[in-house]
Amino acid sequence: MKDKEIEARKKDETDVAAKAEGTREGIYYRPKVDIFETETELTLIADIPGVEQGDLDIDIADNTLTIVGNVKQKDDAHNYIMQEYGVGNFFRQFTLSEVIDQEKINANLSNGVLTLKLPKVEKAKPRKIEVK
Amino acid sequence: MARYRWYVDRDPFLNEFSRLQREMSRLWSQNFPEGQSAEVGLFPLVNIFEDQDNYFLTAEIPGLAEKDLDLSVVSDQVTIKGERKLEEKEDVNYHRRERSGGVFSRVVSFADRIDPEKVEASLKNGVLTLKLTKAEESKPKKIKVKID
């Protein structure tokens, strides 16, 4: 049986609303993500090639998760013979429906892939009320 | 598995042709935004630039380590092969599934022959950078004209 072939996809450009951090120069792309959840946690995996540890900003405020990755190596100074993809920063926002335990968030950046584990707040245990 | 050769050279007609392809691709993706396939069989997408003595190729291959990548150079072609494995999760509820995995193999052809002894490759943060030195005999030789 043939091995599954990977798809090549163009990067999506995105508009970044000017936020408190100020407007940054450059093109922003929307990274491709996988999001899945289990009973206890939400996991987000994003492809952000070219972003180093120090250039990644993850923020949670008011149930909104914001991921900003800055890519230093912008080769716009070069004359391309062939250019199939653009090099730019990454930006994406999500609204979280679950309440996340912010103390226990775990982020890992390796080979240009960000893995974010967001544990859900333990639901309060139901209290049994005895009727006398 | 489809293998496409891309000729990177300075023929104006071919450049025009690939510009036309890019335009069509752009128009297509305007109508079908969000994760539409660029061109089938062309992972990874590459950027190429050159100086007098070298070609430079960059490609984004997030999630791959050196051991997952298979690079080879012969004559005027570079082959980039590998497999991107995604974590297979059972028993989870997917909200989004945008990343794609699988095998890939791409051949990029250049206008000059490459010196296979002098290729430099680095993989950092999921970005592959290749420095391909043009073979000596490929470089144009200056011819001295004797004036009698």
B93 inside domain: no
A130 inside domain: no
CATH number of the domain within which B120 lies: 2.60.40.790
Q: What is the pLDDT of residue B137?
A: 76
The answer to whether residues B59 and B42 touch, using CB atoms and an 8 Å cutoff, is no
Domain limits for position B45: 5-9+40-86+101-137
Domains: count for chain A = 1
Q: What is the pLDDT of residue A26?
A: 73
For chains A and B, CB pairs below 8 A equal: 150
Residue B15: which H helix or E strand, with range? helix B12-31
B107 inside domain: yes
Report yes or no on whether pTM surpasses 0.80. no
Which residues lie below 8 Å from residue A18, measured CB to CB, with a gap of 6+? Answer: none
CATH number of the domain within which A52 lies: 2.60.40.790
Q: Which residue of A has its CA nearest to B34?
A: A12
Q: What is the pLDDT of residue A60?
A: 87
Task: Tell the residue number behind the tokens 């000017």, with chain if given.
Answer: A18
Rounded to a whole number of angstroms, the distance from the CA of B52 to the nearest CA of chain A is: 12
B59 inside domain: yes
Residue A86 and residue B102: Cα distance in Å, rounded?
23
Put simply, the answer to whether B96 touches A33 (Cβ < 8 Å) is yes
Q: What is the pLDDT of residue A103?
A: 81
Of B1, B37, B98, the CB nearest to A33: B98
Residues B31-58, mean pLDDT to the nearest whole number: 73
Cα distances (angstroms) measured from residue A72 to each of A49, B31, B47: 11, 31, 16
The answer to whether residues B99 and A47 touch, using CB atoms and an 8 Å cutoff, is yes
* Chain segment B61-110, per-residue pLDDT in tens: 999 988 889 999 998 999 999 999 888 787 888 989 999 888 999 999 99
Residue A113: which H helix or E strand, with range? strand A113-119
The alpha carbon torsion through B99, B105, B109, B114 (nearest 10 deg) reads 110
Residue B59 and residue B124: Cα distance in Å, rounded?
11
B145 inside domain: no
The most confident of A93-97, A127-131, B7-11, B118-122, by mean pLDDT: B118-122
B21 inside domain: no
Domains: count for chain B = 1
- Is the interface score ipTM higher than 0.90? no
Sheet strands (E) in chain B: 5-8, 46-50, 54-60, 69-74, 77-84, 93-97, 102-110, 120-124, 127-133
A68 inside domain: yes
Residues A28-38, mean pLDDT to the nearest whole number: 91
Sheet strands (E) in A14-61: 28-30, 33-37, 41-47, 51-61
Put simply, the answer to whether B101 touches A78 (Cβ < 8 Å) is no
Residues A68-94, mean pLDDT to the nearest whole number: 82
Domain limits for position A38: 12-17+25-119
Q: Work out whether the CA dihedral A29, A78, A75, B54 comes out positive or negative.
A: positive
Put simply, the answer to whether B103 touches A49 (Cβ < 8 Å) is no
B34 inside domain: no
Of B44, B63, B83, the CB nearest to A111: B63
Q: Higher-confidence residue: A100 or B132?
A: B132
- Phi, psi for residue B59 in degrees, rounded to 5: -150, 145
Of B62, B83, B98, the CB nearest to A112: B62
For residue B82, the chain A residues in CB contact (below 8 A) are none
Tokens (6 digits) for A1 = 């049986």
The answer to whether residues B123 and B106 touch, using CB atoms and an 8 Å cutoff, is no
Q: What is the pLDDT of residue B30?
A: 57
Exposure string of B39-76, with b = 16+ CB inside 10 Å and e = fewer, is bebbbbbbbbbbeeebbbbbbbbbbbeeeebeeebeeb
> Which of A113, A36, A121, A108 has its CA nearest to residue B90?
A36
Q: What's the burial of B79, exposed, middle or buried (CB within 10 Å: 0-12/13-18/19+)?
A: middle
B64 inside domain: yes
A2 inside domain: no
A75 inside domain: yes
For residue A83, the chain B residues in CB contact (below 8 A) are 47-48
For the ranges B23-32, B88-97, B115-124, the lowest mean pLDDT is seen at B23-32
Residue A91: which H helix or E strand, with range? strand A89-95
